[in-house]
Amino acid sequence: MLLRLSELAGAKLYKDNPNIVDLSDPNRPAKLKDKFCEIYSNEWTDAYQKLSESKPTRSEEKIIKFLLDILLEGFAYCTQVRDIQREGLLKVILYPMEDNGNSQVKMENVEINDILARHLAEVPKLSGTMTSEQVAKAFLSKKDMKDKFGPDFETNEKYIIQCVKMCWLMQVQTPPVCLDLAAKPGDKFDNEIYKEYTKKGKKIDFIVWPPLRRMAGGDLIEKGVAQGK
């Protein structure tokens, strides 16, 4: 009985608690923050240079928007895949006799206890590095993305792969690490949330790279980059 109570207490403590960090996790938020910064410093810079050289008449803002939109589409895609994966895991665990490939079971209103929820969240996290490559390649092969972004989509594969892998590792954290997409062009330039790109200003001209938060609405763990005006 005491063991059971201890498990329940531990599960409630861990549930979506960003203050409890597994220091053995190579993809814990502090590490993801560093990798996120590296993508901006390396792959983003390389992709920007490639795009500016391939079409010199293209404006700086258009190139930056293209690269930002890819990151945001990748983040949205990973959110969708995470939800599909979680539902699939739940079906396998709760309905083991169902043919899950053709299952008609609706999972929207299924409630599970905190212990099961905690262990369920560990599976995607533990397999995150292994599955990130698959998720990134699936995104890269999406026809609607190729249609939306045109030929530049396939010529910037390295940048896209790194962005989507990063977004996937963010999504499988408990709770998920989030991009802060609140600020819009014309908003006040908040130096507590954004670093300047090449120009200072009291207002935001355009977003270059989004800030990172520990969870939706949570603490800022890395500033974004924006152009001032």
73 vs 93, higher pLDDT: 73
**Which residue carries 């972004």 as its tokens?**
149
pLDDT in tens, 13-36: 445 555 556 667 788 999 999 999
Least confident segment among 66-70, 97-101, 193-197 = 97-101
pLDDT in tens, 85-133: 988 888 888 887 776 555 555 655 567 778 788 888 888 999 999 999 9
Name the band, by pLDDT with cuts 50, 70 and 90, for residue 56: confident
Q: In angstroms, what CA-CA distances link 50 with 119, 141, 148, 156, 157?
A: 43, 21, 19, 8, 12
Give the model's pLDDT for residue 26.
Answer: 83
- Is residue 185 within 8 Å of residue 44, measured between CB atoms? no
Give the model's pLDDT for residue 146.
Answer: 93
Counting residues of the chain whose pLDDT is more than 90, the rounded percentage is 69
Distance from C-alpha of 175 to C-alpha of 136, rounded to nearest angstrom: 21
Name the band, by pLDDT with cuts 50, 70 and 90, for residue 195: very high
Give the model's pLDDT for residue 6.
Answer: 46
Distance from C-alpha of 92 to C-alpha of 86, rounded to nearest angstrom: 10
Q: Within 10 A of 99 (CB to CB), how many other CB atoms are there?
A: 8
Q: With a cut of 60, say whether residue 218 has pLDDT above it.
A: yes
**Which residue carries 């700086």 as its tokens?**
60
Least confident segment among 63-77, 93-107, 179-193 = 93-107
What stretches of the chain adopt beta strand conformation (E)? 178-179, 194-196, 204-209, 212-213, 220-222, 224-228
Give the model's pLDDT for residue 121.
Answer: 85
Least confident segment among 22-26, 146-150, 216-220 = 22-26
- The domain 177-229 is classified under which CATH number: 3.40.630, 3.40.50, 2.30.22, 1.10.10? 2.30.22
**Where are the chain's structural domains?**
25-176, 177-229
Q: With a cut of 60, say whether residue 4 has pLDDT above it.
A: no
CA 137 distance to own-chain centroid: 15
Give the model's pLDDT for residue 113.
Answer: 78
Burial class (CB in 10 A: 0-12, 13-18, 19+), 60: middle
Give the model's pLDDT for residue 155.
Answer: 92
Give the model's pLDDT for residue 168.
Answer: 98
Give the model's pLDDT for residue 2.
Answer: 43
β-pairing, 224-228 vs 194-196, is parallel
107 vs 151, higher pLDDT: 151
Phi and psi (nearest 5°) for 119? Answer: -70, -35
Q: Within 10 A of 66 (CB to CB), how many other CB atoms are there?
A: 18
Q: Within 10 A of 107 (CB to CB), how many other CB atoms are there?
A: 14
